[in-house]
Amino acid sequence: MAKYAELLPRFLKYVRVETRSDPESSTIPSTPKETAFLQRLATELQDIGLSDVRINPKNSYLLATIPSNLGESSKIPTIGFLAHIDTADFNAHGVNPQVVKSYDGHSKIPLGKNGQYQLDPAEFPALKNYAGQTLITTDGTTLLGADDKAGVAEIVTMAEYLMAHPEIKHGTIRIGLSPDEEIGTGADHFDVTDFNADFAFTVDAGPLGELEYETFNAAAATIDIAGKDVHTAVAKGAMVNAIQLAIDLHELLPEHDRAERTEGREGFYHLYRLDGTVDHATMKYLIRDHDKAIFEDRKQHLRAVVDRINQRCGADRVHLTLRDQYYNMREVLEKHMDVVELAKAAMEDLGIKPVIYPVRGGTDGSTISFMGLPTPNLFAGGENMHSRYEYVSLQTMEAALDVLLKINALNVENHIK
């Protein structure tokens, strides 16, 4: 029998529930489906036997506690483990996961009965790393939701395992399951005091060994362009084509600095949505950079480009709304490298090579670390996230669970001499 017998069925059960977040919503959580799933998870955690299981009414975080079994006088720091329950903006309705046992590491995996899509090692070479393992994939019509229901399943299974094995010594462990990470608002409402941990980890990174403590600085920009639509027969000198202004604006940004042309620590401006008519157009950008000074320069350059278009028009036709989303958590975690080293040591003790690099994205830990709770990010196992080609290895999920338990064990060992 597998060590974590409930991990796979629990994960399959979770991903079948639609919990896609909605960036246009102003509610917390952004969708009722997230609320329903959090309530369902609360019941599950209560049934497992956790304490203080509750949903914070202000931020909709599901909180729970695994009480210390080392006595009230224990000086063991309290660990927090966090994951998010919402999924991204690819189709998340009717997720129908496939389980591929003993994958050979080189064959194409058809996604769904008609085989319209497939996981091909020629296109996705990481598949070669999973020879002999069990893969969970999509059916080609939806995402899978391993981001981050793999992390949720791993944390809940860890809790179940510890409750079933009281001989495993541990301090107090806090669990936090959140909504709306994918739309960048969930962690904005996190309550560090209510969570009451000394340090924490998000379980939301990708393949085996990923350990993240350096992320992008991030901002979102919305640009509204007011045109003037007149009949093309009399357009000269009268028409102002909002679509053309959008094109002109985009071409004034550095041509290389686009997501699809950058890597490593190179930042970018990513135009991810453009809607418009001659009369009105809207542009939405993501602005990213690891370096804080360059990040600020990027925002200022966008402001200057907007001003330049307005000067050309002779009127304020272009309006920019700019909002910072999160910052590079390395700025905080450099002062708390003991937390990173704890996770690194746990992986190395298990024979897992830590994979540490500057993340071209962010996590809830980016925001939470700046709130005063050091929160690096641990691998949960997902590959090709946010797409029909998403998959995860069961063995990697089990390894992630091993790491969570080992972090706890080392936390105890380091403070009981």
> Known catalytic residue: 86?
yes
Count of domains for the chain = 2
Q: Model-level pTM greater than 0.95?
A: no
Final residue belonging to a domain, choices 284, 301, 326:
326
* Assigned domain for 2 exists: no
Task: Please tell me whether residues 145 and 176 are part of one structural domain.
Answer: yes
For residue 231, being part of any structural domain is answered with yes
Instruction: Please determine, for residue 1, whether its predicted confidence score (pLDDT) is greater than 80.
Output: no
Q: Is the pLDDT of residue 191 over 90?
A: yes
Q: Of 180, 181, 182, 402, which residue is the catalytic one?
A: 181
Report yes or no on 355 lying in a domain.
Answer: yes
Distance in angstroms (rounded) separating the CA atoms of residues 403 and 409: 10
* One domain for residues 241 and 205: no
pLDDT of residue 218: 95
Counting residues of the chain whose pLDDT is more than 70, the rounded percentage is: 99
- Among residues 44, 86, 204, 390, which one is catalytic? 86
Given a cut of 80, whether residue 113 has pLDDT beyond it is no
What distances in angstroms separate CA 217 from CA 27, 147, 222, 304, 325, one per listed residue? 25, 21, 17, 20, 8
Q: Which residues pair with 282 in a beta bridge?
A: 224, 275
Q: Tell me: do 58 and 101 sit in the same domain.
A: yes
Q: Look at residue 364 and tell me if it is in a domain.
A: yes
In DSSP notation, 264-333 reads TT--EEEEEEEEE-SSEEEEEEEEEESSHHHHHHHHHHHHHHHHHHHHHHTS--EEEEEEEEE--THHHH
Mark whether 75 and 169 lie in a shared domain: yes
Q: Is 228 within a domain?
A: yes
CA separation for the pair 79, 297 (Å, rounded):
37
Distance CA 170, CA 15 (A): 30
- Tell me: do 248 and 138 sit in the same domain: no
Domain boundary among 282, 309, 326: 326
Do 277 and 338 sit in the same domain of this protein? Answer: no
Q: What pLDDT does 200 receive? A: 98
Torsion of CA 136, 140, 142, 147, to 10 degrees: 30
Distances (CA, A) of 12 to 87, 267, 410: 14, 36, 30
Return the pLDDT at 230.
96
Q: How far, in Å, are 51, 157, 159 from residue 44 at the CA level?
A: 12, 11, 11
3-state SS class at 255: coil
Contacts 24+ apart (CB under 8 A), 412-415: 412/70, 412/76, 412/169, 412/170, 412/171, 414/342, 415/75, 415/76, 415/77, 415/171
On the question of a cis peptide bond just before residue 121, with omega within 30 degrees of 0, the verdict is: no
The parent domain of residue 267 ranges over 217-326
* CB hemisphere CA count around 415 (13 angstroms): 18
Rg of the chain in Å (alpha carbons):
23
> Domain with 281 in it: what CATH number?
3.30.70.360
pLDDT at 83 over 60: yes
Q: Dump pLDDT digits (tens) for 29-40.
A: 999 999 999 999
Residue 73 clears pLDDT 60, i.e. is over it: no
Does residue 279 carry a catalytic annotation? no
pLDDT at position 112, please? 81
The DSSP call for residue 48 is H
Is residue 344 included in any domain, yes or no? Answer: yes
Within this chain, do residues 349 and 221 fall inside the same structural domain, yes or no?
no
Contact 183, 88 (CB under 8 A): no
Domain identity same for 239 and 142 = no
- Domain membership of residue 123 (yes or no) is yes
Q: Are residues 196 and 224 in the same domain?
A: no
pLDDT above 90 coverage of the chain, percent: 94
Asked if residue 1 is part of any domain, the answer here is no
Q: Tell me, yes or no, whether 19 and 101 share the same domain.
A: yes
- 209 shares its domain with 255: no
Tell me which of 308, 326, 344 is where a domain ends.
Answer: 326
Closest to 142 (Cα-Cα) out of 16, 36, 14: 16
Tell me: pLDDT of 115 over 80: no
Checking DSSP bridges between strand 391-393 and strand 135-137, what pairing results, if any? antiparallel
Q: What is the pLDDT of residues 316-367, one digit of tens each?
A: 999 999 999 999 999 999 999 999 999 999 999 999 999 999 999 888 999 9
The DSSP call for residue 60 is: -
Task: Render 92-135 in DSSP notation, one character per residue.
Answer: -TT---EEETT--SSS-EEESSS-SEEE-TTT-GGGGGGTTS-E
Asked if residue 168 and residue 276 are part of one domain, the reply reads: no
130 pLDDT more than 70: yes
CATH number where 60 lies: 3.40.630.10
Convert the pLDDT of each residue in 3-39 to its tens digit. Answer: 899 999 999 999 999 999 998 899 999 999 999 999 9
